[in-house]
Amino acid sequence: MTKLIVASDSHGSSMALQRVLDKEQDARALFFLGDGLRDLETACAPFPGLWVYAVAGNCDMGALEPNEAVTSFDGVNLLYTHGHLYGVKSGEERLWYAARSRGVQLALFGHTHIPFCEESEGVTLFNPGSVGRPWRGQATYGVILLDKGKIVECRHENVPALWE
């Protein structure tokens, strides 16, 4: 079983991201979906063994990270992107088609600051929400469990409070 952490849109809240990493120390990798790459550097410093996959968001000016990438974990192909280039605030269709055309089973995206998970025709779209600046409700991140080519679970978790 492979555990992945998915976070996005920290917007200056490296401490929130670090609290997530403190809680989820058994994760194999972190996927950071943009808008807070400097926060990512700060938060990940205490976790040198963590595999980190990151893309630039629309607020990550001058970033060297790509806008999107594809990788594979435990037999599951993943596309990860911030989402702004796919117009996800207006709907997820373009992202779904991009994932499907690339043979991807799981597409991770941020940008909307709203948690989202939906599967259609073998493609799961997953947005962890915002780890630092949610548009409504709690700050959230995602936990994904993979096993032998299957997505076992995609869930949203609240970012731990300072006193937890």
**Is 164's pLDDT higher than 80?**
no
pLDDT attached to residue 163: 64
Residue range 69-77: mean pLDDT, rounded: 97
CATH fold label, 2-158: Purple Acid Phosphatase; chain A, domain 2 (3.60.21)
Q: Which whole number is the average pLDDT over 48-74?
A: 95
Please state, rounded to an integer, the average pLDDT across all residues of the chain. Answer: 95
Name the pTM for this structure.
Answer: 0.96
Confidence of residue 83 (pLDDT cuts 50, 70, 90): very high
- Please give the average per-residue pLDDT across 130-134, as a whole number: 91
CB burial of 123-140 (b: ≥16 within 10 Å; e: otherwise) equals bbbbbbbbbbbbeeeebb
The C-alpha atoms of residue 122 and residue 151 are separated, in whole angstroms, by 10
Mean pLDDT of 96-103: 98
Quote the pLDDT of residue 133: 85
The region, left, alpha or beta by phi > 0 then psi within -120 to 50, assigned to residue 154 is beta
Residue 9: predicted pLDDT: 97
Q: Are the C-beta atoms of residues 124 and 105 closer than 8 Å to each other?
A: yes
Q: Dig out the tokens for 31 from the structure.
A: 């996927």
**pLDDT tens readout for residues 7-55:** 999 999 999 999 999 999 999 999 999 999 999 999 999 998 999 999 9
Where exactly are the structural domains of the chain? 2-158
pLDDT > 90: percent of the chain:
93
